[in-house]
Amino acid sequence: MIQAAESYVAYEDYLEAEQRSSLKHEWLDGVIYAMAGGTLEHSRLAGNVHAALKSALARCELFQSDAMLFIRATALSTYADVTIVCGAIEAQKVERNGKVLGEALSNPTVIVEVLSDSTEEYDRGEKFAHYMTIHSLKEYVLVSQDTPRIEVFRRPKRGHWQRDEARAGETIQILDARIRVDEIYRKVAG
């Protein structure tokens, strides 16, 4: 995350600018940050996760990285690589003069982030701290870009988040789905 502005920007102004921008930005309580660009490998892994979970979690809605998230508790608007909502969708919809400026999911059940060198520390630390404040969030999934490894952090009924990890040749549970790690890291022969 790269800071783009020091002065306060209203959420409505951020949404309006975001519609015109070719880059994605986060908005954190009035401060806008440019998001790091992804690689082809990052995009491939996010797409494979989306495809594997889409067929396995038919009762849920899956969204790709263009779906904005809004975290009320910490006033963060951001994008995840894959967002899953099981149940009715709740969205933060903002209008100005009858025009929709933006719409952001506010009740994700699962959030998936593909890690990269430039985002791993943020995804594991500060961003996860924001995500932990979302009451509907049950699982936070981190997909390594460097090695076949998937981590799932689960919210227990009480206590601290619990971590599960799977590597090449193993499977991992995400909600009701068992996903083969090798399926996420497969490349199409060509």
**pLDDT digit string, tens, across residues 109-163:** 999 999 999 899 999 999 999 999 999 999 999 999 999 999 999 999 888 999 9
Q: Where are the domains of the chain?
A: 38-185
Residues of the chain where predicted confidence (pLDDT) is lower than 50: 1-3, 5
Q: Give residue 2's pLDDT.
A: 45
Q: Give residue 87's pLDDT.
A: 97
Which CATH number does 38-185 carry?
3.90.1570.10
Cα-flanking dihedrals φ and ψ of residue 26, to 5°? Answer: -100, 150
Q: Give residue 40's pLDDT.
A: 93
Q: pTM of the entire structure?
A: 0.94
